[in-house]
Structure 1
Amino acid sequence: MTNPITTTPRRSKAFGLLLKAAVVIPDLIIASLLWLMILALLPPAVAFLATILGITSAALAATGLGADAVVRVLYRARRPTASEAPRLAVAWRIAIHHSDTSDVTLRIVTHGPPIATGGRRHLLMRRDIVDAYVANGINAHQMAALIAQGIGRLRSGHTRFDLLWTIWTIPWDIIRGLARAIGHRLVWIPLVQFAWRMRFLVGLIALVLEAQAGRWVSLIVIAAFLTFSYAMPFSRRAWEEWLTEAAQPNPAR
């Protein structure tokens, strides 16, 4: 007789790793091209020093040395204050359930989701969530559930080289942030929304014209833009869905 109570099986960590690669690799490719353009515009001596500094920073980020300082700079993170720390310690004890979290550090940030990760061992909690908890707007068990979710994301999110990816993609993150800010200001214009939704048709026409003219470099650029404009949002949604599922406590344990 079959068991009427069944659950959806969790997808493998290898599948999650493939999803994360689909998110990270396009960002790395774009950022690498931007770094090459930046270095090409600099004087040779400055470009050489910048390359050495970049390689050194990447090596430190990959090994995890100075991770706390890197997190403070990259995410503008801070330690809990004297008034926040005792309250957070209560929720922390509820969240960990005697599991080994000696290597996990909690930091407070002013932006981003309610709970996020920064590298392989840092949890980043948004300040307004902490303020609500300190003001009794959120109870200890609700805060503990949020912390447990963050620990799950830290353990399941393949975070070992996250600081390296974050440092490497700084130029692309800046440009992407500016584009989003401009897009938010232009979104009220109907033609802008329509043009973005019709980008496949416009891009297809451009590809045909570039191919007929024999301009293969611009054809490759346009094709890459179209591919990334559809693939990157899709891969990010798929990765976030997988990570949210994987970060949940496993009832079978």
Structure 2
Amino acid sequence: MNGPAKSGGGHGRMHAFGWKGSFAGGVTRFDQYAPRPGREDEWKGLTDGKITQVARHLVNRFGMLYRHGLQEVEGHAAKEGIPRFDAAHVDLDIGEPDNLPSGANSLTVTCDGFSNIHHRDRDTSPWAFGIFWSGKSKGGRFTGEVSDVSEEISGGEFWWAEYGVAVGAAPDHVYAEVAWRAPRDYHGTLACNLRDGLTWKTATMNRWACSMQITKRLEDKIKATKALGGYKPGHVATRL
């Protein structure tokens, strides 16, 4: 709803939700990804509980896949005072991380044949965690059905370029879960295509992925805020 991100060598769509370092308002400014004009009501619907359900699900699945990785991320977030992406607002002293709803500040979602070049993330997360799946869509939204699409979509594997390892983007009835060392591992998403005659705008299926991580830009902004004496009104924007 906030428009596809622009990245070198990328295809498809990527959207973001959560907290980011801002170019506006001076060195201590950080705020949230904003919706496109006209999409504010849908955005507010996410903030009224749905996005918290997403956060809890991702945290739960990450913990089941690799508990140590989740503990490293949560420990780093608590130490640095990083607000989790579903936190509706931050009205506490940044210097009191024990009272801050902390965690990965950024949630990204990709679809419509997303792929990119191999790269290292500019993140401070010890680890990033993502879920990949293919399923049916209606009006651009996932219907909840993860079936009968494998023959229509090919590619979209998550790959570690250095190791020559690729993880399939999930066949029917399967979700693929992946954890990687965000600032260290060269990784990317391979080309993803529909069978001949279909387009992403009209297809009744899609391949999605979502991932959560701590971004360096936000952490740098929070450190700058602390250096100037901690949280002050106006340094942090509320969600809406």
TM range (shorter): under 0.3
Q: Which structure carries more helix by proportion?
A: 1
Q: Which structure carries more strand by proportion?
A: 2
**TM-score, length of structure 2 as denominator length:** 0.26
The structure whose Rg is larger is 1
